[in-house]
């Protein structure tokens, strides 16, 4: 069967957007309307003739509406294979009328959860009859049209107009696919709530991940790869996908990934002091806090002005005109911040290809949640790295005690190192990164690379010495040998912050003592692969 004429429609929706218009158009075309509860009332209030489901089933709605459509008179009309003689005979014998169109959207389970409702209210908003009708209609899409999204009503109007009151098999297939996706996402939200919120499981026996297409992207990391952005169906932290894009070209896969990295790091710094983060290829290349946002930008840029070209910039406070103008003096792909004043927007407007993203509020770096990574043959999940270290968590392991300034610089460097790809080494001084070494196969090379970057920055700025002199250095994991620490000493670091825990900790501590520097252990590692 290809085209199927719509003669009887069952309408039962929670979201009543456009339902009266739909009912009126169907009624005008001579379609018999069958409905339930509030949907039936809305249609009748609009002057439309509606047949109650109870008139078809012979049973009233009961148990507070829990039982109304779960009946052979409904599901027989949905599931019957109409050109099967046995099915046709059963329909005739039991006076089951065919239902050609089902328009259903489900109880607002996710919205109920997000509203902070109590457990009983949440349970009551688990739809049973709706998904059953959706699945029956979608399974039998050879004969039945299913709509689950008000956005598809106009597509139905076009179908009926172009095909003399009927729908095509292609349309029904597309709507069936969308319907099964809707019920799958709905069940995923319910199972996730039960597992995480109700039962407080960290890793449930079965885990489903549902999302809706946000946008298709020009390509992935490379032009030969296809890519798309999906958005969570349920409650989610605000991030780059939810930001308002004020100007610029569409965001690419790499833009989204890099902007997320920049946002994650800049959110670590409270808004009581302006911070700037510059990211390139998902690694920070310059980070600074200062009394003004412009000063923070200038200090972060000076850390590695070469890598900053074509990078991503994130701020933890709204952008002002002077800072925006300074940012536009180099090629920048994306700027993201909680806000931007009129002067800043005007400055960025002079660079129409620059993407300006306004988020409104910063994500909480300490929030719980799971990170996901696919591998061949499986999916890896882990809890987010939301670990935070304060001064009270530090254990001094050297003879020399660190100064207050060294502790402040060490904690700053530690925050940055958490967001640098392993092996990570970060030098910092006076709230500014001095050098960053990322993604090397050994810690010694990361330390040396960071020192080289610092030397190049000093030469470019005309400083008498690199900022690594007198700096604190953070290592995202323990030093397995003393060589990495000695490289930091050669660069001029006077303070080391690292997790500790190596079999050779005593050797590393002895090297620090011999060099006369201070060192603290955090007891926490921040690998980032």
Cβ atoms of 470 and 495 within 8 Å: the answer is: no
Q: Kindly tell me the sign of the dihedral angle through the C-alpha atoms of 34, 38, 41, 43.
A: negative
Q: What pLDDT sits at residue 65? A: 62
DSSP per-residue letters across 91-127: HHHTTPPP--EEEEE---HHHHHHTT--HHHHHHT--
> 272-302: per-residue pLDDT in tens?
999 999 999 999 999 999 999 999 999 999 9
- What is the CB neighbour count within 10 angstroms for residue 483? 17
Q: What pLDDT sits at residue 280? A: 95
Residue 67 — pLDDT band, cuts 50, 70, 90?
Answer: low
Give the residue-averaged pLDDT of 501-516: 93
**Where does 252-393 have alpha helices with state H?**
253-266, 293-303, 305-308, 321-327, 342-349
Catalytic residues: 139, 281
Q: How many helices (H) and strands (E) does the chain have?
A: 19, 23
Residue 68 — pLDDT band, cuts 50, 70, 90?
Answer: low
Q: What pLDDT sits at residue 520? A: 97
Q: What pLDDT sits at residue 263? A: 97
Give the residue-averaged pLDDT of 119-137: 91
The region of weakest confidence among 18-27, 165-174, 444-453 is: 444-453
Sheet hosting strand 51-52, strand order edge to edge: 51-52, 32-35, 8-13, 101-105, 145-147
* Angstrom distance (rounded) from CA 75 to CA 78: 5
Residue 391 — pLDDT band, cuts 50, 70, 90?
Answer: very high
Nearest to 78, CA basis, from 176, 10, 160, 172: 10
Nearest to 81, CA basis, from 157, 23, 143: 143
Q: What pLDDT sits at residue 70? A: 67
Give the residue-averaged pLDDT of 353-359: 96
* Angstrom distance (rounded) from CA 258 to CA 262: 6
Whole-number average pLDDT of the chain: 92
Task: Tell me, yes or no, if the pTM score tops 0.85.
Answer: yes
> End-to-end alpha-carbon separation of the chain, Å?
53
Q: What pLDDT sits at residue 82? A: 87
For 359, what's the count of Cα atoms within 13 Å in the CB-facing half-sphere?
26
The region of weakest confidence among 26-40, 50-64, 438-452 is: 50-64
Q: What pLDDT sits at residue 64? A: 64
């Amino acid at each position: 069967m290809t085209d199927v004429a719509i003669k009887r429609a069952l309408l039962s929706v929670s979201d009543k957007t456009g339902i009266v218009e739909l009912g009126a158009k169907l009624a005008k075309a001579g379609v018999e309307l069958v409905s339930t509860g509030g949907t039936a009332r809305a249609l009748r209030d609009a002057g439309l003739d509606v047949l109650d489901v109870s008139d078809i089933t012979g049973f009233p709605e009961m148990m507070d509406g829990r039982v109304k459509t779960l009946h052979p008179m409904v599901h027989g009309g949905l599931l019957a294979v109409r050109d099967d003689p046995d099915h046709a005979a059963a329909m005739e014998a039991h006076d089951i009328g065919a239902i050609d169109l089902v328009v259903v959207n489900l109880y607002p389970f996710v919205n109920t959860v997000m509203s902070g409702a109590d457990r009983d209210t949440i349970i009551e908003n688990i739809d049973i009859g709706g998904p059953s009708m959706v699945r029956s209609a979608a399974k039998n899409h050879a004969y039945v049209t299913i709509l689950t999204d008000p956005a598809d009503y106009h597509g139905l109007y076009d179908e009926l107009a172009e095909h003399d009151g009927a729908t095509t098999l292609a349309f029904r297939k597309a709507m069936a696919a969308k319907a099964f996706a809707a019920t799958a996402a709905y069940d995923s939200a319910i199972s996730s709530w039960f597992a995480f919120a109700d039962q407080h499981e960290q890793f449930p026996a079965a885990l489903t991940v549902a999302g809706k297409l946000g946008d298709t992207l020009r390509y992935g990391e490379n032009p030969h790869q296809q890519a798309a952005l999906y958005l969570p169906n349920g409650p989610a932290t605000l991030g780059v996908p939810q930001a308002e894009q004020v100007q610029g070209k569409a965001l690419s896969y790499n833009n989204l990934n890099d902007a997320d990295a920049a946002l994650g790091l800049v959110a670590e710094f409270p808004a009581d002091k302006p911070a700037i983060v510059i990211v390139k290829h998902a690694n920070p290349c310059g980070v600074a806090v200062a009394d003004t946002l412009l000063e923070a930008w200038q200090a972060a840029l000076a850390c590695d002005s070469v890598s900053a070209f074509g990078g991503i910039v994130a701020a933890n406070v709204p952008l002002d005109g002077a800072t925006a103008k300074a940012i536009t003096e180099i090629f920048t792909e994306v700027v993201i911040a909680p806000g931007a004043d009129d002067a800043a927007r005007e400055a960025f407007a002079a660079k129409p290809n620059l993407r300006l993203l306004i988020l409104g509020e910063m994500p909480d770096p300490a929030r719980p949640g799971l990170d996901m990574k696919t591998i061949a043959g499986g999916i890896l999940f882990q809890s987010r790295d939301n670990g935070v270290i304060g001064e009270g968590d530090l254990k001094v392991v050297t003879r020399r005690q660190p100064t207050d300034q060294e502790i402040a610089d060490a904690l700053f460097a530690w925050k940055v190192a958490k967001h640098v790809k392993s092996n990570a080494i970060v030098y910092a001084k006076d709230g500014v990164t001095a050098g960053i070494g990322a993604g090397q196969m050994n810690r010694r090379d990361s330390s040396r690379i960071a020192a080289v970057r610092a030397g190049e920055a000093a030469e470019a700025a005309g400083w008498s010495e690199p900022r690594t002199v007198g700096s604190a250095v953070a290592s995202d994991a323990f030093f397995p040998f003393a060589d990495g620490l000695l490289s930091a000493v050669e660069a001029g670091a006077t303070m080391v912050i690292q997790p500790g825990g190596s079999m050779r900790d005593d050797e590393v501590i002895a090297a620090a003592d011999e060099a006369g520097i201070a060192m603290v252990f955090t007891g926490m590692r921040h690998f980032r692969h």
